[in-house]
Structure 1
Amino acid sequence: MASTARVQDRLRQRALLITTLTVPLTGWTVHAVSLHRQLAAARRDPLTGLLGRDGYTIKAQQVLRRYGDSALVVLVDVDHFKQINDTRGHAAGDRVLADIARRLTAWAGSHASVGRLGGDEFAVATRIGPGRRQLRLAQLTTLLAQPVEVDDGAPIDVAASIGAASPDILGTTALSLLQRAADAAMYEGKHSERAILAGPQHAAVPSINGRRAGRPGTDSLGRAA
């Protein structure tokens, strides 16, 4: 009996030790995850000052949770950007990207999530109610079509393709689904000089990493090869 009691006591002590060690570890894990999210949200693109992909995603999800059906997700792709780099130089291309970023930030407002997803691709999640969407998207198209002033030559003519998606039309607040639909809408209106608001048909377009799957005669982005 005494031997059994000693064994049970040792087991209790071991369980207590494990619990004591696990609690700080669990607390540190939670803290580490929270710190990672804060760092991701604070990380900004050095050229434009916009949020990077991770930071944009975190804040965009917050926008969608807060505003629901009054939220709008917008994807923007600068048209003929490679041509700008090739003919005017990379410094001019950088100026275009920085200027586009400034215009998007001003258009979206202070409570929006505005990010540079990479290259000449930008994303916005903001609050724009159903009654104002078409007007505000038309304003964005006009705003982004203004020439960019550069220090070493004539202004650069720019244009952007714009696709948008809203929770009330698509029946979801999932950022990935809204962005996929906005992406499909954007490529439907490529070079049309007008923003396209996604409908349910755009949400059904197959995609790879947020881009439409290639079709015969197109590249991986769905553009003419």
Structure 2
Amino acid sequence: MAGQREEMAGQREEMAGQREEMAGQREKAMRSQVGKARLKAALIKSTAAQLREANERLVVATVRAQTMADAAEQTTVQMAYMAEHDFLTGLPNRALLSDRLAQSITLARRYGKKVALMYLDIDHFKHINDSLGHAVGDRLLQSVAKRLQACIRLSDTVSRQGGDEFVVLLTEVEDAQSAILSAEKLIEAMAHPCLVNGHRLHATLSIGISLYPDDGKDAEAIIRNADTAMYQAKKSGRNKYMMFTPTMNDRAVTRQSIEQALHRALEKQEFVLHYQPKVSLDTGTITGAEALIRWQRPRHRLVSPKQFVSIAEECGLILPIGKWVLHEACRQAQDWLQAGLDLGQIAVNVSPMEFHGKNFLSGVREILNDTGLDPRHLELELTESGLMQDSEQTAATLLALKHLGVQIAVDDFGTGYSSLSYLRNFRIDTLKIDKSFVQDIDGDAGEAIVRAIIAMGMSLKQRVVAEGIETQHQLAFLQSHNCKEGQGYYWGRPVPAEEFATLLAGKTFKC
């Protein structure tokens, strides 16, 4: 019995072990299922995260692609705009103007209308760049562009051709008078000074006008003829307009020929100086001389400066020509002084382009040092308009010249700016009464002006020299009003250096 009980106990124990093993297997199976569920959940979560990340990347890529497409489109638009517009003023450039002009001509031809083209140039703009710098010049160009745009119709075009040149296209006009009225409006718009970086700049325009079909049958001819008319406006005094005429083409060819000849004249030293005496109206003695350039052109008569100086200024040759004149005049004056001839002062005309050039002052010093001329024997003659272009820089340059000992004269006094404040602010030694006023003395019209200038000079303690004296009546009037010096054909025309030396050696003029 005991054995049976032990056997049964063993069986029960075995069965308990089996149940325990089965429970462990069930628990292990349950754990495995939970792990699988958790792994599945983790996989689902990871997949969802990856999908979200992929979607986000796709959205970002799409946005970036759209941004790049927009930027590319904007860049294309900007490049197209830049290809047709001036970067400084934002105005249409030469290419866009040509396209619009061609379209306007096509429409005008179809409907029997006229097209007007105005070629504009800012007078003496180079002086502003040379004296105040290109930054000020650029601001002035922007100011001018805005004024021009304010004067035209929406259907018209203002274009910048480059530099200080602008073109205005009037797409449809009835006749030449319509274009003239527009040109007058543009000139009037520039009458008020431009305020640029603290400077009051007086910018005027020279305008040339041509019409389709009157002056040309295509765009190229219309532009060329307007440009030709503009140069004639400059040559005729600036700050004006001129309509194109066929004879202008002949003058343009002549001008180009003279410009080329001037280059050769510099190379071959074809220029000479003649000298006109300044005379004391009290004693008749020579008080100085004015150096006047002449051109000894081969196979031509002696050419006066009126026939070539304006062209030299337009093409920039006035700078080397002016430097030669100053050096030659100083050299000759020093030769006369070393020969014992009492010269007084040698006067040399200086163009505004020279005076406002950045190397003018150093050039004067160099020439004085090279020739050995005492600065007190040199007088520089400047025009009123040249003095007034940039008062601050002008005052500084004049002061430096005065420190050197150089004398300063205002040439053609009375014909330039109406403001006389510069006589007080600038260091001026001499006023030269313009010959037009002196010659009007014979008809009484100039007497009041001449008297006023003499009185002004005396009150400011400045020398007064009357230019262009030709008659005894003019001389007597000037003497009676205490004008101390004069020059003109009354005592003879300007002469070469050898003849002037003879005058210095002993001749006293009758006064």
Report the TM-score when normalising by structure 1: 0.70
1:97-154 deviation per Cα after TM superposition (whole angstroms, max 9, x unaligned):
111111222223211232111111111211332142222221212223431112x323
Whether 1:64 aligns to 2:98 is no
The one-letter code matched in structure 1 to 2:245 is G
Q: Deviations over 1:12-55 (max 9, x none)?
A: xxxxxxxxxxxxxxxxxxxxxxx9xx947962111100112111
Whether 1:156 aligns to 2:201 is yes
| Residue equivalent to 1:215 | 257
Instruction: Find the structure with the greater CA-based Rg.
Output: 2
Structure 2 residue matching 1:192: 3-state secondary structure:
coil
Give yes or no for the alignment of 1:82 onto 2:126: yes
Where do 4+ consecutive residues of structure 1 move more than 3 Å? Answer: 38-42, 202-207, 217-220
| Deviation of 1:204 (Å) | 5.8
Instruction: Classify 1:189/1:206 alpha carbon distance in 2 versus 1 (closer, same or farther; 3 Å).
Output: closer
CA contact (8 A) 2:179 2:209 kept: no
Deviation at 1:217, TM superposition (A): 4.2
CA change 1:223–1:146 in 2 (3 A) is: farther
Match of 2:242 in 1: 196
Identity rate, percent: 29
- When the two structures are superposed, what TM-score results if normalisation uses the length of structure 2? 0.33
Aligned length: 182
Distance 1:89 1:206, change over 3 A: closer
2:140–2:194 contact (8 Å) kept in structure 1: yes
| Higher RCO, Cα 8 Å, sep 6+ | 1
Contact 1:73–1:123, Cα closer than 8 Å, also in 2? yes
Counterpart Cα distance in 2 of 1:88 and 1:157: 13
Letter of the structure 2 residue corresponding to residue 115 of structure 1: S
Per the alignment, residue 89 of structure 2 pairs with 48
Gaps of 5+ in 2: 1-75, 264-309, 318-511
Which segments of 5 or more consecutive residues in structure 1 lack a partner in the other structure?
1-34
Distance 1:73 1:81, change over 3 A: same
**Could you tell me which residue of structure 1 aligns to residue 173 of structure 2?**
128
Classify the secondary structure of the residue corresponding to 1:195: strand
Label 1:176 to 1:100 Cα distance change in 2 as closer, same or farther (>3 A).
same
- In 2, the alpha carbon distance for the partners of 1:41 and 1:90 equals 22
Residues 146, 157 of structure 1: 8 Å contact kept: yes
Alpha-carbon distance in 2 for matches of 1:173, 1:205: 21
* Structure 2 contact 211–222 (Cα < 8 Å) conserved: yes
Q: 1:61 to 1:41 in 2, by over 3 A?
A: farther
Residues of 2 paired with 1:41 and 1:67: CA distance? Answer: 28
